[in-house]
Structure 1
Amino acid sequence: MNKNSLTLLLVFLLSLTSKAQISHTNNSTESLERPKLVVGIVIDQMRYDYLTRFYNKFGEDGFKRLMKEGFNCKNNHFNYVPTYTGPGHASIFTGTSPKYHGIISNNWYDKELKKNVYCVEDDSEQSVGTSNNSGQMSPRKMVSTTFADENRLFTQMRGKTIGVSIKDRASILPAGHTANAAYWFQGEDEGHWISSTYYMDSLPKWVIEFNKEHHVDSYLKEWNTLYPIETYTESGDDLNDFEGGFEGKETATFPYDLVILKRQNKGYDILKTTPYGNSLTTDFAIEAVKGEQLGKDNETDVLTVSYSCTDYVGHNFGVNSKEIEDTYLRLDIDLGRFLKALDDAVGKNNYTVFLTADHAAVDVPEYLKSVNIPAGYFDSKAFRNSVNEFITNTYGNNNLIESISNNQIFLNKEKLKELNLDLDDVQEDLVNEIISYNYIEKAYTGTAMSSTSFIDGIERLIQNGFNQKRSGDVIFAFAPAVINYGKTGSTHGSAYEYDTHVPLLFFGKGIKHGATFQRTEITDIAPTISALLGISYPNANMGNPLDFVFK
């Protein structure tokens, strides 16, 4: 090979190398292109089977659009108990369970303060937008970060985070510690969206204007079924013995005149137990996208939206009610207009959405018993009396128990020490006693939860919900379809499928169309979004990114 040929070969090889480097650079840039906005939607108390049960009555723009264009994880579960609103929202956005993020319930007994505390209460903050103390809230009791926090850190605080929900805890916990704002609804005689000094000193102009326009009044009207009630064949009879209803109305049957009923049902709070509260939430969330200019620059923003009214309706009327069916058919319409608003404001291929629930719910046990399915109601007062009697008879002292709450018994450590009693022995004695009680299916000591590793079953879920600093000394679980609740309406909180199996839909930029029956867990959501954004996982994350949902 002569000198000229060698030179030409060298130039050719250098050209190939340069092209490969350029191609690699372009591919890397494309793979790191992030959505301008991530929207996390949580539907309070949504069972997975609502997607399939009401599917044929949904329109094309809401749930069906998410399923037909996005990815449906059909076997998605919570991996801890208790399955309540506070822990649910915290777990979804932190990628971990109460064991690590610390939100062990909505309310719990504080062993240091010796009193019950609320998961987002914070007396060091003041209300913004109301003179009521309902704004004295913050996320400080949650000890880990959310993916929204990690996005704020990654973008040097340039990416915004806004939380929206009727419920304070459902707005505050998802948005995390570094949020620009979290907003929730103050009902009663106000009907306004409010916040806390944790985020701001005064409401921004767009929120003030929204409150002044008093959209809330447009929803004080008759609540009747969206479609003829006889077509609601996916739910039970409208008149039955399993529903609560409203004060001032003799039966829990359609229609409901909200203007009249408002007076006896805490004013504007009545909207929480109707689908119109979800419509109001949608109105406010759309205004938040505009008012905060979300998705308008090159830094990813995060909007968390939790629909709370599905939970209030479920608690009042039950999962098999005409009211719950109508609520989901109307929510489907609200989701459709929310997605359309995101299309218009951010652009169809510029945002990513996930939709899930903070827990599901059980059928009303009285209804289950009427169709010969085992179910029951736990008598907490009788349980407390029996446990206290056992303690007194066994140890000659009735001051050894400080609290019984959230299916946990908290012992008085000072009194145990004073009586020279061994903590482990007393825990074991209590477990051996209560496991024989009616409707109690499982019981464990706090020591066992701290020292033994459970890899499956209800035991694993109990352990994932057990926080060594905050949880009790004895933990117990009910038998299936047994609840500590009234005899009308549905509730939740257990480790059983009816409470743990919830939807998980991904949609939008970076998400492919598809579905899977592979088991996924609620703690997988945060690392999946973190992976999509190329940011750090939340600092106490225990989940795994679901790579099969990505394009």
Structure 2
Amino acid sequence: MKKSNLIFFVIIFLVNTKLISQEHYPKKPKLVIGIIIDQMRYDYLTRFDKKYGDGGFKRLLNNGFSLENAHYNYIPTYTAVGHASVFTGTTPSNHGIIGNNWFDKYQKKSIYCVDDENQKTIGNDGNGGKKSPHRLVTTSVADQLRLSQNMQGKSIGIAIKDRSAILPVGHTANAAYWFDGGKRGEWITSSYYMKALPKWVSTFNKLKKVDEYLRTPWNTLYDIKSYTESIEDENNYEATFKGQDKPTFPHNIPELRKSNNNYSIIKAIPAGNSFTTDFVKAAIIGENLGQSEHTDFLSISYSSTDYVGHQFGVASKEIEDTYLRLDKDLTSLFNFLDKKIGKDNYTLFLTADHAATQVPSYLESIKIPGNYLKPKKFTNYLNNITKVHFGTESLISNFSNFQIFLDTKKIKELKLNFEDVCNTISNAAIDYPGIYKVATSKTMLNNTFTRGIMKSLQNGYNQKFSGDILLVPNPSTIIYPKKGTTHGSGYSYDTHVPIIFYGKGIKQGASKKKYEIIDIAPTISNLLSIEFPNGNTGKIIEEIFR
């Protein structure tokens, strides 16, 4: 073989080797962004489609990959649980966050998911920063990214709600920031992360941009007559702000803020999402995210959508206006990312922590079943049952999140059989109006459910922390006032949420296959060529990759 031919083949070999290497180990994005929209139903993408611009939701749908049949696969569908599950790739049965608040059967009191008395507030002298992720028992994808880079690269969580900022970025985050309302109106953090606020955060707080947003009444973005996707503005299914006679537009925020905990009112209006976007941009600049040789991770949660949904319901003019305004905030954010990070330098996903049901009283008005369960009335009913069967009304320690916690100490003192007590209360509960299914802890431990609502119940059951008796209400049966709405069930109105991937490494398209929320974390891990979160039970969504 001639020397020239040998050189030619060597060059071809080296080029092919490089191409193969690039194919299997593509260059990673400089920044990964996880966006969670609190209480976003999937149908908000389709209901308001004609009014969205081209740069927000439609940009993701037209250029990213949308999962049209994505669901939460556990009960309960609450904010803290959703944020934990998205980023850990597993369910409450493994990651340990079983609610926003839940009854601690060891301390015999209700606890909050991120409270931590061992920490201090960083940013002011209040108590709003005594928080940490210590109750999350698994790692998140953000943790795994930091570990894979020998703790290089930054990981930051941002949300108006503390739990929504803290849980996504896990245990090794450089920072998590949330908004302290009331009389303060400041972004704060915890001593878990740092000893003092970075200069850029202090500078942002001093600008008092929140005041700018609270000087303007909340009116509709467009002519309210064009909001044909929503029910009438004046109705009997929406709650008012304190000091307001009717839950109708315009909402005079400058006048209402004083009677609605001052700065905290920003949480309950669309401006809260705009304010969050402002802070996100400041964080990207202040922390130089996406500018190093390492991949950074940014978690963003838009919380105001949840407050609006709870107060006004999913069919309201207010929720429609909130999403039309959020679409503009997303457009602004994406344009900012293009400029600061580069169009092909970041990957993001957008999803929700849960959805929500239509207001049950509204459903009843149009002849669709809906119901309200009153906790005190229900527990009195059960206590009367235990008095008849066991001679005492003191066997139930707590009823919350549709779970019954029994007083095991009392049961032992009275020398009662624990299983008999469970069965008696379960048999009584199933007869109560509005209760659809009942399962004991023994049922959860001794059976393996493979589909349906019982599978979701089992995925949400944590042997160490959950209650002794689990309840599933009828569809659209909630524990809530008759005005406004909530979430928490395993029904599709609470579980069906958007999941859209966009950016570097993601192809354009959509899928009607059923996927679960826990599939996000292993998919992003695979994109980054890192190990899955250590409790992961999700699977890689192969069809999204370019």
Q: Given the two structures, how large is their TM-score scaled by the length of structure 1?
A: 0.97
2:196 to 195, 202, 205: 202
Which residue identity is paired with 2:148?
Answer: F
1:379 to 371, 374, 382: 374
2:442 to 438, 442, 447: 447
Distance 2:364 2:13 in 1: 69
Distance 2:540 2:499 in 1: 13
What residue in structure 2 maps to residue 3 of structure 1? none
Q: Does 1:259 align with 2:251?
A: no
Describe the superposition over 1:413-447 as per-residue Cα deviations: whole angstroms up to 9, x where unpaired: 22222222222222122211111110000100011
Q: Does 1:160 align with 2:154?
A: yes
8 Å contact kept, 1:42–1:358: yes
The alpha-carbon deviation at position 13 of structure 1 amounts to 7.2
Describe the superposition over 1:225-283 as per-residue Cα deviations: whole angstroms up to 9, x where unpaired: 00000000010100000000211111011111111101100001111110000000000
Pairing 1:287-302 to 2, within 5 Å after superposition:
287-302=282-297
Q: Does 1:329 align with 2:332?
A: no
The alpha-carbon deviation at position 398 of structure 1 amounts to 2.3
1:256 is paired with a residue whose SS is coil
Pairing 1:466-481 to 2, within 5 Å after superposition:
466-481=461-476
Q: Does 1:57 align with 2:51?
A: yes
8 Å contact kept, 1:223–1:257: yes
Distance 2:525 2:12 in 1: 31
What residue in structure 1 maps to residue 501 of structure 2? 506
Which residue identity is paired with 1:27?
Answer: I
What residue in structure 2 maps to residue 83 of structure 1? 77
What residue in structure 2 maps to residue 338 of structure 1? 333
The alpha-carbon deviation at position 88 of structure 1 amounts to 0.3
Task: Count how many residue pairs are aligned between Structure 1 and Structure 2.
Answer: 544
Unpaired stretches in structure 2, ≥5 consecutive residues = none
The alpha-carbon deviation at position 25 of structure 1 amounts to 3.1
Distance 2:517 2:361 in 1: 30
Pairing 1:169-318 to 2, within 5 Å after superposition:
169-220=163-214, 221-318=216-313
Distance 1:298 1:155 in 2: 10
Distance 1:400 1:255 in 2: 50
The alpha-carbon deviation at position 328 of structure 1 amounts to 0.3
1:39 to 8, 33, 43: 33
2:13 to 17, 20, 25: 20
The alpha-carbon deviation at position 14 of structure 1 amounts to 8.5
Aligned identity (percent) is: 52
The alpha-carbon deviation at position 32 of structure 1 amounts to 2.8
Describe the superposition over 1:86-138 as per-residue Cα deviations: whole angstroms up to 9, x where unpaired: 00000000000000000000001111111110000000000011211110000
Deviates more, 1:375-384 or 1:326-335: 375-384
Pairing 1:354-365 to 2, within 5 Å after superposition:
354-365=349-360
Describe the superposition over 1:120-166 as per-residue Cα deviations: whole angstroms up to 9, x where unpaired: 00000000112111100000100000000000000111110010000
Describe the superposition over 1:507-537 as per-residue Cα deviations: whole angstroms up to 9, x where unpaired: 0000000001100110000001000000000
8 Å contact kept, 1:236–1:321: yes
Distance 2:145 2:333 in 1: 23
Which residue identity is paired with 2:115?
Answer: E
Which residue identity is paired with 2:114?
Answer: V
What residue in structure 2 maps to residue 107 of structure 1? 101
Describe the superposition over 1:181-232 as per-residue Cα deviations: whole angstroms up to 9, x where unpaired: 0000001111100000000111000000000011101101111000000000
Deviates more, 1:74-83 or 1:19-28: 19-28
What residue in structure 2 maps to residue 418 of structure 1? 413
2:297 is paired with a residue whose SS is strand
Distance 1:450 1:344 in 2: 52
Describe the superposition over 1:36-71 as per-residue Cα deviations: whole angstroms up to 9, x where unpaired: 000000000000000000000000110000100100
Distance 2:231 2:294 in 1: 48
Which residue identity is paired with 2:172?
Answer: T
Distance 2:341 2:532 in 1: 25
What residue in structure 1 maps to residue 545 of structure 2? 550
8 Å contact kept, 1:71–1:507: yes
Which residue identity is paired with 1:403?
Answer: N
8 Å contact kept, 2:375–2:399: no
Distance 1:394 1:13 in 2: 92
Over the aligned positions, Cα root-mean-square deviation in angstroms equals: 1.3
2:461 is paired with a residue whose SS is coil
1:303 is paired with a residue whose SS is strand
Q: Does 1:93 align with 2:87?
A: yes
Distance 1:21 1:430 in 2: 72
1:133 is paired with a residue whose SS is coil
What residue in structure 2 maps to residue 438 of structure 1? 433
What residue in structure 2 maps to residue 116 of structure 1? 110
What residue in structure 2 maps to residue 29 of structure 1? 22
The alpha-carbon deviation at position 16 of structure 1 amounts to 3.8
Distance 1:145 1:29 in 2: 29
2:20 is paired with a residue whose SS is helix
8 Å contact kept, 2:30–2:345: yes
The alpha-carbon deviation at position 19 of structure 1 amounts to 3.0
2:132 to 116, 135, 138: 138
1:223 is paired with a residue whose SS is coil
Unpaired stretches in structure 1, ≥5 consecutive residues = 1-6
What residue in structure 2 maps to residue 4 of structure 1? none
Distance 2:373 2:393 in 1: 23
Distance 1:359 1:504 in 2: 11
Distance 2:291 2:326 in 1: 27
Distance 2:311 2:30 in 1: 39
Deviates more, 1:14-23 or 1:422-431: 14-23
Which residue identity is paired with 2:149?
Answer: T
Distance 2:378 2:5 in 1: 84
Which residue identity is paired with 1:144?
Answer: T
8 Å contact kept, 1:32–1:534: no
Distance 1:189 1:150 in 2: 38
Distance 2:164 2:210 in 1: 20
The alpha-carbon deviation at position 12 of structure 1 amounts to 5.3
8 Å contact kept, 2:29–2:345: yes
What residue in structure 2 maps to residue 536 of structure 1? 531
